Amino acid sequence: MRILWQLSCAVALGIASTIAASGAELDVLAAPAPFAGFRTPPPRAFNWTGCYLGGHTGYALADHELTGTFLAGVPGFLSVPTSVTLASTLPNELGSNGFLLGGQVGCNLQFAQSWVIGFEADASWANIQASDRQTLAGSFTDPLTTFTATSDATLSTKTDFIATATARLGYAIGWMGQGLVYGKGGAAWITNRYNFTGQVTFSGVCTVVSLPPPQCIATSSQIDVFNWTSRKTLVGWTVGVGVEWVMWGNWTIKGEYDFLDFGNQTIALNDQVFGPVNLTVRQRINEFKVGFNYRFGPPVVDRAPW
């Protein structure tokens, strides 16, 4: 019995020693150094670097200040050649408005994590127009003749093309930098049409002169139609602000406001009968645009470390 007890104690001690030795060995093999080989995956961010192509639509409000005078020659009523004023635009302010539709192309470079610089060119077909009816009547005399001149005409303007070339500076926002708030500025071009169309009615009463040769022997009237026209491209400057946001993948949407100023410009209008006349025009435009862009290149990249 005593031998059995000693044998049991020896076996138990041997098993305990084996378990302890195995545990110690397992601890040595399984316990790595703290955080050894552990790395946080780099965060992802939207990539604004690259070129893009897109389209836009919008609405524009334009302000025209026109200064000038339209003159027409009197058709032989007076003994001394003269002319009459058909309409005076000193000044005449026309507010026009209309829609626009176009496209844009540009390239960006993202730097210092969130800053974005770039260049963009856009062009729009526009239908920004306004008109103003003008009427004028007057009477004139000289020693031989009294006559009246009455005019009824419409002065109209239309902007049918707008283009800009601008530099942009923006800042990426959002948890992945998927938004871009930006400002822009640069050169602007527009193409305008100007028309002054109507008719003038001349009515004259002649005084009969008995001394030879007779100067006038009858009354007369005449209606002349006029159409002064011009089409000219103006150059100015523009500034604007906008925001752009990622929709999915490489597609983004944008909203933008632009102010365009073309200063004072001299416009020559011409009529085949009455000849040329010059107007001074000052024009400013406010644009509100929404659009989309498709960006070439990877839409998302690993964010660079600080």
Q: Where are the domains of the chain?
A: 47-134+156-193+228-302
At 40 the pLDDT is: 53
d(CA 120, CA 109): 12
Which strand (E) or helix (H) includes residue 13?
A: helix 2-30
- The CATH code of the domain at 47-134+156-193+228-302 is 2.40.160.20
Residues ≥6 apart with Cβ < 8 Å to 56: 101, 102, 103, 104, 122, 124, 254, 256, 289, 290, 291, 292
Backbone angles phi, psi at 20, to 5 degrees: -65, -45
d(CA 199, CA 136): 11
pLDDT per residue as tens, the chain (306 positions): 343 334 344 434 443 443 334 333 323 333 344 444 445 545 788 999 999 999 999 999 999 999 988 887 776 655 555 677 877 777 788 899 999 999 999 999 999 989 999 999 999 999 999 998 888 877 776 666 677 888 899 999 999 999 999 999 999 999 899 999 999 999 999 999 999 999 988 887 665 555 565 555 556 677 889 999 999 999 999 999 999 999 998 999 999 999 999 999 999 999 988 889 999 999 999 999 999 999 998 888 876 654
Structure tokens at 36: 């050894």
Structure tokens at 145: 């003749």
